[in-house]
């Protein structure tokens, strides 16, 4: 089972470490052709505008959208959530635009307002150490979206079928439960694709 991490910008190394910590093979994805061999894909935290510019520069958007239609799971953290969302609160057009959520960028403040909180996450467990850095949050969810976590009345973790979106940075902690959850999604998807 191979899980890619989009390696254009952001917390790539930390995600690779988290994937390997739960026993899956991780691949840093720098070229669109590399998407073809993957069973799942992580879109890491970083800076969403910069990521979008690099995705366009390397002509990766059509391949990312094709990957999304394949049924294979995608997991977006922080900026990755912004890339997945089909509606952005302060931006005209979505990026990849495949997850049925509306997202507001930088909704918890600037870099200096970064903080940590312990969260209860549905299907994952209690006391998850969530690191929020210039974090977005999910303003609205569409039909079929499962809200998995909230902080201070704001949705910070949700699942829409094969798409998992997270406001915070699980890869910056030693707690691997969210990555385990995503790897389980990838295993289930691979099983159903092979069946």
Catalytic residue among 14, 34, 78, 95: 78
Number of CB atoms found within 10 A of residue 58's CB: 13
Residue 166 is a catalytic residue: no
Identify the pLDDT of residue 48. 83
Residue-level pLDDT at 37: 94
Residues 6+ apart with CB under 8 A from 103: 81, 82, 85, 87, 88, 89, 136, 137, 138, 139, 165
Q: Which of 14, 34, 150, 171 is catalytic?
A: 171
**CA proximity to 160, closest of 102, 117, 108:** 102
Q: Which domains does the chain have, with CATH numbers?
A: 2-194 (3.40.50.880)
Residue 195: its pLDDT value, please? 59
Global pTM reads 0.95
Q: Which of 15, 95, 137, 169 is catalytic?
A: 169
Distance (Å, whole) CA 26 – CA 36: 14
The one-digit pLDDT tens for each residue of the chain (195 residues) are: 899 999 998 889 999 999 999 999 999 999 999 999 999 999 998 888 888 999 999 999 999 999 999 999 999 999 999 999 999 987 778 899 999 999 998 766 666 568 899 999 999 999 999 999 888 999 999 999 999 999 999 999 999 999 999 999 999 999 999 999 999 999 999 887 665
| 15: annotated active-site residue | no
Does the active-site annotation cover 171?
Answer: yes
Q: Which residues pair with 116 in a beta bridge?
A: 131
């Amino acid at each position: 089972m191979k899980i890619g991490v989009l390696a254009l910008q952001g917390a790539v190394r930390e995600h690779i470490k988290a994937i390997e910590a739960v026993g899956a093979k991780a691949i840093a994805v720098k070229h669109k052709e590399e998407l073809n061999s993957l069973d799942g894909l992580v879109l890491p935290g970083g800076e969403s505008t910069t990521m979008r510019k690099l995705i366009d520069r390397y002509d990766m958007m059509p391949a990312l959208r094709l990957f999304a239609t394949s049924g294979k799971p995608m997991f977006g953290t922080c900026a990755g959530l912004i890339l997945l969302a089909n509606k952005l609160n302060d931006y005209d057009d979505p990026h990849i635009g495949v997850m049925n959520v509306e997202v507001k960028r930088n909704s918890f403040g600037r870099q200096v307002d970064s903080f940590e909180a312990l969260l209860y996450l549905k299907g994952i467990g209690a006391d998850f150490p969530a690191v929020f850095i210039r974090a977005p949050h999910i303003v609205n969810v569409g039909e079929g979206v499962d809200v998995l976590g909230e902080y201070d009345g704001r949705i910070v973790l949700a699942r829409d079928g094969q798409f998992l979106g997270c406001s915070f940075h699980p890869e910056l902690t030693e707690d691997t439960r969210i990555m385990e959850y995503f790897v389980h999604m990838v295993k289930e998807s691979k099983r159903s694709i092979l069946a």
